[in-house]
Structure 1
Amino acid sequence: MNPQATQPVRLSPNDVLRFFLELFAFFSLGLWGFVAWPTPLNVVFGIGAPLFAIVLWGLFRSPRAVIRLDPFGKALVEIVIMGSAALAWLVMGQPIVAIVFGVVAAVSGIISGRKEYS
């Protein structure tokens, strides 16, 4: 019998928060694409920006990533995606949302990164 199959998956509150931060980042990039660009380009960026971020996350950062990276590489991918989402809110004229999202994402990322090293 496989011992890993019987052990339950343990999720911390930070893991749940990080999941919602990822979803919010993808939503933010989509909203930015639809709001910040003129009509023909808004569809391209509104669908393309979050799709690109989702592909990057799936390839490099997800728990079942296709391409394994060291912790520095994973952090870099996460900083690019979360930073882009925070910057999108800033460009849309919402500095409070940008700052709050950026700070929460950074703190959550630091907590998660420290957990990976222990």
Structure 2
Amino acid sequence: MKAPLLGLIFLLELALLVAAGWWGFTRDASWPIRLLAGLGAPLLIAVVWGLFCSPKATVPLPAPAKLTVQAACFVAGGLLLALAGRPAPGVLLVALWAADKALLTFLGDPV
């Protein structure tokens, strides 16, 4: 049961990066600004995730802090989707992540 949940969480992490890029590229701004936002927002989230949330994180955090950073990343992704005019997928992204994370925690998977 854990393998499909871990696969889903990986896909949700990729969707998070896509959501951030979608927000940036759909801004009502000049092309250079959209390019900067479309590439910069996912890059920023990826750097934060790599530093604090990845299995080989540069800055190891206790489980509650790591979960908080993960939640902040997904809530930010959901908000970015909402700001890009797609509130329903934004809510769905956050809800799926929360449900998947809750099930993984229930099954004893570390954060």
TM-score w.r.t. the length of structure 2 is 0.87
Higher relative contact order (CA closer than 8 Å, sequence separation 6+):
2
CA distance in 1, matches of 2:71, 2:11: 16
User: Which of 64, 74, 78 is residue 70 of structure 2 equivalent to?
Assistant: 78
Aligned length: 107
Aligned ranges 1:39-78 → 2 under 5 Å: 39=30, 40-78=32-70
Identity %: 29
**1:18 aligns to what?**
9
Displacement of 1:37 in angstroms is 4.4
| 1:86 and 1:98 in contact (8 A); partners too | yes
| 1:32 and 1:46 in contact (8 A); partners too | yes
Report the RMSD for the aligned CA atoms in angstroms.
1.6
Q: Which has the larger radius of gyration?
A: 1
**1:32 aligns to what?**
23
CA distance in 2, matches of 1:55, 1:112: 24
Gap runs ≥5 in structure 1: 1-10
User: Which of 80, 89, 96 is residue 81 of structure 2 equivalent to?
Assistant: 89
CA distance in 1, matches of 2:101, 2:28: 30
SS at match of 1:29: helix
Displacement of 1:78 in angstroms is 0.6
Q: Describe the superposition over 1:30-85 as per-residue Cα deviations: whole angstroms up to 9, x where unpaired.
A: 11011124113211111111001101111110111111101111111111111111
Displacement of 1:16 in angstroms is 0.4
Gap runs ≥5 in structure 2: none
